[in-house]
Structure 1
């Protein structure tokens, strides 16, 4: 049945009441047939109004004008009217989707509230009510119901305290955003009543979202899989099923709270609206208290109208509200959402501050469980069946293991990977998934570090077996840390994170940075090289703040963080001889504490391992030593560098490998010098070009080189 049918049937009964009231008014009205009635006040109309006023002042026992047609019944109080209205409803049962009835039950509206709401919205549904209301208002231009007319149509006297209380701002109709009382400068009984368009549309079966909310509200997607590894969503879901609740979910990583809220609401069987607030503007530098009422008035961006529209939308749909992420100053928003009839779940990374709810009831504060890295079930559900994904990668678990994405980001990454595969007209592969997952994990790290998109493989490394095995172990630890440290409970506790930390030590040019790029490529992650110029600051305490920003951003990003020349930041603590030594030691102490709670992947490189503080070394998972290459490795490095360079037939880099003790980085520079020389001649690279490049690198290092006259 059409959702509007029950509502239209109610309007038919209302029209009967309006007709009886019109008949009662026109029976003794000398101006009833005047075409200009309502535009001016004639003497006859004035005398008629005086008679009506005298009758009203005489009270219920005074004289009443005789009416040829029966008028609406007048009740002494609201309870008596509700009894009669309930009897009328029972006499006319209706089928179908009666949204007005379901809304009244859900919001706890009385029968009188429903009748008043019906009187107010009638002109928005049927134009026939407009001239009738204009006649009853004694003003042809006022075609909406007024407070006085609504009370009269409900059979209540204008002086009824119970009836007038229904229009109080704190009464359900106004407080819930269902009814607007306009024209506050007019006398109370003459104030017009209107129903928001969104409420009318809902009652007619249209659930199009209120345009006031813009693009900041959308339906919360159901979780891809039910969280079984943590009991908190189950308990929270059962509590939400019992009744509305306001909850603050403290998350360690952005997205944890949203995933927990979605899982709990799925258990409760409730739908939800996901609201993303506007970003708050930064606080003034001289502001001591950012949560004062004055600050609220000056800085709060979510208008009361917008929050009221959000709560009204949730009430109309009978769903919860999920807010994530929170703005910089969440207090005003949380206080505005502190209602008792709508479940509200808020998620943020900041610890709960009681000042946020100053004067209001505190929410239930819970720690959201961590999202599992590489949740295979969630990725499989997002990708769908093998037929829909073109088969998918064979090792899906290994591909997605490094990524700590929430349900919505997994959906978007899966969709983007499928679109990439379709664009290339190829089956879905691990490379498609890695690229899409990296896009979903983009962050603000580029403000503090240089981003490198890895374009190398293990074949680009020329290393002895021992450091190469350590690098493979590093990739293995990064993939399976969730299982070992989480599921198998091998985390040391004490608030320690599940990060992977490694130190690459060796001479310059031995392949430390290249190895970091290879590990990042193996994991399918971007590499961020921290710029020391953006970290070290001459002012006390600023270096720690800069490092905290980097670590915080790295915690919420799936990436590999590289501190090149790490001894500049992670150097040994020294004996305190002056204030400079004291504050330098404070920086090291901060780093020691921060590494304990780090959840990401961080690599440190140094040319002088002895300069790294022993306390840092203890916290490292791996220390990889990069030895200086011997003659055989140098020859392999020369050949690898020349692999794509046009060379003359029979070129032999073996002599340069034996005679020049160069590291891999210097060998590559020598090949670049030789390639430029050959390109300038328009010829292929020769042995002489290689010799020139090797001699150039020796001279750059300050080492002696025999000239051409003396040969080698």
Structure 2
């Protein structure tokens, strides 16, 4: 509503003059009704009391008014254009009121704008003035009570309005008419009291508006919050500008029902969607408010009430609604119903941020995709936000982290690298990015702090070379897909995915830890027992949570024992087979679209479908260590601080076909034995620990030289 600005004193003065003139005119009207009420009271007191009468006096007496000719009715029911007791006539006051409404150079008074915006008739406008009057001028209560002929009845009623104003219509009471439909006025009838005589008052929001105070309805303050530009001073890159253009164009497109279409902002980053929306509506001169979908249920607000009040606000203020549904679950009936009811019943410009398009009943819609900026744009944004050379930290950060502009701006503002060396600035920004994008996977994955290095990993040269190639592709992905143009040819397969296969204990998890440490990533071991569900559709939902949480980068996902979930797809023989294949197909799609680093670890490569293997960038075989690798593993089995006997022969066990995990377990067991005995680790302790480990694994142990079988 284009009310004058709070600083526009001319409009405030004009609105005040019009309101004073309107109240003076209303007092004159009330005085005419007061005189008529006195006439009625006097005549009613003289009327005979009749048994069975349908009308009663204030003390319960039945009263029947005698029939009258039209000219004999009291003045309350006559045209009110004559003189009033104090000498002022209604025509003069009405002219003064009309003159106050026509001040040139300012917006119309608030009451007239309300009438125009909500389509009020002159009678409905005057009813709204009557209902607002006691809130604007407390002295009006006495005048209204006098008009009622009852000192206690200081609130106006519809019955009084019907007697008071010209061109009165009974349909003003209809719930479909603007006064009640938009809750501009409220009637609170007592039990068994007709609506016609119920006390009438203006809604507080509307009463304040008539006085010239235009602010957001306080009942919406508990569920709405203003949205500010989250990246001030940084211009939107091309990808976001295109989205802003689409939102601004779609928000006020023509619609069959006259309401603005619901603009769906599709993406996983709610902050980026909010930035697009706030900048798009800033062009249109509208302020954006956020409503989190969860508050529709948890906040105790009725979606229908929120829908009505917001629709009213959109007619009173230059505002737009940002409904944040990125964390909402479309499969939750309660959430889905609340969001659909709100969108279908409200009006004004609305944008819905969600991961998928939500159905909206009876309202047009438009879809705009909002993705985080691609690596080349992120590199330019990092350079602009930090002042660093694009070829340095901005390139490294953009190659690994997929951040929206708001998150990027927050990190850059909190870690200004002005006084730091480039390497130190990059290290600090890297740590800050890892913390900012750390996924919420506590229920589905175990976070492992990577400490292992290349020197700790013992593998044949071929496997080591493949792992180093993996690390190199992660580091240089932005250059190859972005600067060299490979990303324009495909939008899938830009992440690095690998299968680590081999017997248990051969170093698959350890190699993942080495990669995570080398690349500066967090390592998450996905708990497949928590992901796989016997309920149809639950496994896909859990997988989606894993990938969505990790899609911002900064993490290496390790799916251990992957053959339990990603086994050979079966021929469809029943519904369980069909849904099992759907789960695998969903995983294949997410793996292809995933832009991060994901490792699948399995003991049985043969259990995996070849179609699945083709979608992986790397397949690394982890063999049982040979003699050379075992000697290296035994040499590094004990930390330097462990006390060792001079005759400890680590090479004695090199011939045993032990995996790296088994060797580490034997060394740990021998260390505990030495600690319990209070002396250094010796050969006997080591052999005893080895026998116990092989017995636990149900494996034969060759006879060692000098030892009894």
5 Å-filtered alignment, 1:227-306, equals 227-229=237-239, 231-240=242-251, 245-249=260-264, 251=266, 253=268, 255=270, 258=274, 260-262=276-278, 264-278=280-294, 302-306=302-306
Map of 1:218 onto structure 2: 225
Provide the rounded CA distance (Å) in 2 between the counterparts of 1:589 and 1:66.
84
1:450–1:530 Cα contact (<8 Å) kept: yes
- 1:88 equivalent in alignment to 2:84: no
Aligned CA distance change for structure 1 residues 633 and 699 (closer, same or farther; 3 Å):
same
- 1:436 equivalent in alignment to 2:435: yes
Map of 2:618 onto structure 1: 622
Map of 1:423 onto structure 2: none
Match for residue 551 of structure 1 among 543, 551, 554: 543
Map of 1:710 onto structure 2: 707
Give the CA deviation at 1:111: 6.9
Give the CA deviation at 1:620: 0.8
1:403-452 alpha-carbon deviations (Å, 9 max, x no partner): 4455666677778989xxxxxxx99924641453245x32xx544x3322
2:16–2:211 Cα contact (<8 Å) kept: no
- 1:591 equivalent in alignment to 2:567: no
1:273–1:319 Cα contact (<8 Å) kept: yes
Map of 2:87 onto structure 1: 69
Give the CA deviation at 1:335: 4.5
Map of 1:321 onto structure 2: 321
Provide the rounded CA distance (Å) in 1 between the counterparts of 2:133 and 2:392.
62
- 1:117 equivalent in alignment to 2:95: no
Aligned CA distance change for structure 1 residues 382 and 52 (closer, same or farther; 3 Å):
farther
- 1:454 equivalent in alignment to 2:449: yes
Provide the rounded CA distance (Å) in 1 between the counterparts of 2:691 and 2:615.
42
2:385–2:409 Cα contact (<8 Å) kept: no
1:280-311 alpha-carbon deviations (Å, 9 max, x no partner): 99xxxxxxxxxxxxxxxxxx984422332333
Aligned CA distance change for structure 1 residues 214 and 268 (closer, same or farther; 3 Å):
closer
Map of 1:174 onto structure 2: 180
Map of 2:202 onto structure 1: 195
Provide the rounded CA distance (Å) in 2 between the counterparts of 1:331 and 1:128.
47
- 1:524 equivalent in alignment to 2:524: no
Query: How many residues are treated as equivalent by the alignment?
Result: 650
Map of 2:50 onto structure 1: none
Map of 1:664 onto structure 2: 660
1:578-609 alpha-carbon deviations (Å, 9 max, x no partner): 948x9658734651454134433432112232
User: What's the TM-score, normalizing by structure 2?
Assistant: 0.74
Aligned CA distance change for structure 1 residues 316 and 27 (closer, same or farther; 3 Å):
closer
1:609-650 alpha-carbon deviations (Å, 9 max, x no partner): 233221111111111223444455444434544236432486
Q: Is there any run of 5+ residues in structure 1 with no aligned partner, and where? A: 76-80, 282-299, 419-425
1:27–1:68 Cα contact (<8 Å) kept: no
Give the CA deviation at 1:235: 2.6
Give the CA deviation at 1:669: 0.8
Give the CA deviation at 1:19: 3.5
Deviates more, 1:22-31 or 1:621-630: 22-31
Aligned CA distance change for structure 1 residues 626 and 200 (closer, same or farther; 3 Å):
farther
What is the Cα-based RMSD across aligned positions, in Å?
5.1
2:290–2:322 Cα contact (<8 Å) kept: yes
Give the CA deviation at 1:149: 4.2
Provide the rounded CA distance (Å) in 1 between the counterparts of 2:105 and 2:470.
69
What SS class does the counterpart of residue 233 from structure 1 fall into? helix
User: What's the TM-score, normalizing by structure 1?
Assistant: 0.74
Map of 1:364 onto structure 2: 365
Provide the rounded CA distance (Å) in 2 between the counterparts of 1:367 and 1:63.
59
Provide the rounded CA distance (Å) in 1 between the counterparts of 2:632 and 2:666.
14
Map of 2:421 onto structure 1: none
1:26–1:32 Cα contact (<8 Å) kept: no
Map of 1:160 onto structure 2: 168
Provide the rounded CA distance (Å) in 2 between the counterparts of 1:113 and 1:644.
91
- 1:508 equivalent in alignment to 2:504: yes
Give the CA deviation at 1:346: 2.2
1:508–1:607 Cα contact (<8 Å) kept: yes
Provide the rounded CA distance (Å) in 2 between the counterparts of 1:435 and 1:62.
77
